Amino acid sequence: MAFFSIHSVMILGSLGLAWGLRYGWKSSNSDLSWQLSWHLSWQKRWQQALLCFVLPPLLVITTAIAVLWMGVEGQMIGLEAGRLSYVIALMFLIYSIFRSGQLAWLGWQSLQKLQKLVVKVETSDRLENLPADCSESMQLLDIPMLFAAQIGFWRSRLFVSQGLLDSLDAQHLEAVLLHERAHAHYRDTFWFFWLGCLRQIMPWLPHTQALWEELLLLRELRADRWAAQQLDGLLLAESLLAMVSSNMLPSETFAAAFGSTNTSDRLEERIEFLLADPEPLPQFSWRSLLWFGFALLPLAVLPLHS
């Protein structure tokens, strides 16, 4: 049968494995509502969510690359290469590149729209409320709503609204800006752009939206904790309550904003997290890197193809 080729076996195998890895997330997170799983450490939540979100689509992508590398001729473990599965892999990779490019284009358009609202920082009469190192890099938006966000790719820019400067006092304004500095420190806009690409490429995998929201929440908790190391968490909580009442957000894959809390459960968790005893910031785990290496296994079988 022409369809039963080594390429088709690899593609179907990676799809099945990707589905199983994603589906298994529910068994260890039976409550998918936004209530904090206190039995899990913050570090473990990061590792589980990131691994379950990234590994399945990455496994399928590397499988498609391996199939494309092998070509339509030759065989492996006694099975011939197939043209149909080769074409399917090629179309999937083209689609992935197209969707990623489309996401980048939409993000660039959002940035251009915001740029049209930018005014000179010197026109603000509230510059005395800003930390000394913020006025130079800040982009001031001539809008009345409360808004502050890091927007861009590797080198994101801080956008702050005139309404925010007019509404918050110096201490609460500093709390908001420290949170945004945390996003710049971790380069959240860059990394979440690529995570957003994986989300768009294979949105039909189990729990894609739930995992995406979990990662967004953990990203905000990390920025909250980073800022809370330098000032009182109560100030951050009060600033957060003020910000969420005015929720203006570009694409979440292109921006990281202090007020990006879309449900009452997420808002409640962030406030409880700020008021609770401090937890260590998540650290890089070599164990997670080894798991991500699992996604490269399809490339490891290339020498077996002849």
Q: Tell me: the pLDDT tens digits for 138-167?
A: 888 888 888 888 888 888 888 888 888 888
Residue 159: beta bridge partners?
139, 149
Of residues 252 and 53, which shows the higher confidence score?
53
Residue 264 placed within a domain: yes
Residue 1 placed within a domain: no
* DSSP type of residue 244: T
Q: Do β-strands 138-141 and 157-161 pair in parallel, antiparallel, or remain unpaired? A: parallel
Q: At what angle do helices 188-201 and 83-115 cross, to 10 degrees?
A: 140
Residue 147 placed within a domain: yes
Q: What would the mean pLDDT of 97-106 be, rounded to a whole number?
A: 92
Residue 96 placed within a domain: yes
Is a pLDDT exceeding 50 seen at residue 36? no
In the three-class reduction of DSSP (H, G, I as helix; E, B as strand; rest coil), residue 3 is classed as coil
Q: What confidence score (pLDDT) does residue 305 get?
A: 59
- Residue range(s) defining the domain that contains residue 242: 6-27+38-304
Residue 33 placed within a domain: no
Identify the helix (H) or strand (E) that includes residue 21.
helix 6-28
Q: What would the mean pLDDT of 193-199 be, rounded to a whole number?
A: 93
Please tell me the total count of domains within the chain: 1
- CB contact at 8 A, 34 and 265: yes
C-alpha angle 272-184-115 in degrees, rounded to nearest 5: 110
Which residue's entry shows tokens 């251009």?
112
Q: What are phi and psi of 157, to 5 degrees?
A: -115, 145
- CB contact at 8 A, 64 and 300: no
Contacts of 265 (CB under 8 A, 6+ apart): 33, 34, 35
C-alpha–C-alpha distance, residues 117 and 209, integer Å: 31
Is a pLDDT exceeding 50 seen at residue 54? yes
Count of all residues that appear for the chain in the document: 306
Residue 113 placed within a domain: yes
Amino acid at 73: E
**Considering the entire predicted model, what is its pTM?**
0.83
* Nearest CA among 222, 210, 215, 214 for reference residue 194: 215
pLDDT digits (tens, 9 = 90+) for 60-80: 999 999 888 877 766 655 556
Residue 130 placed within a domain: yes
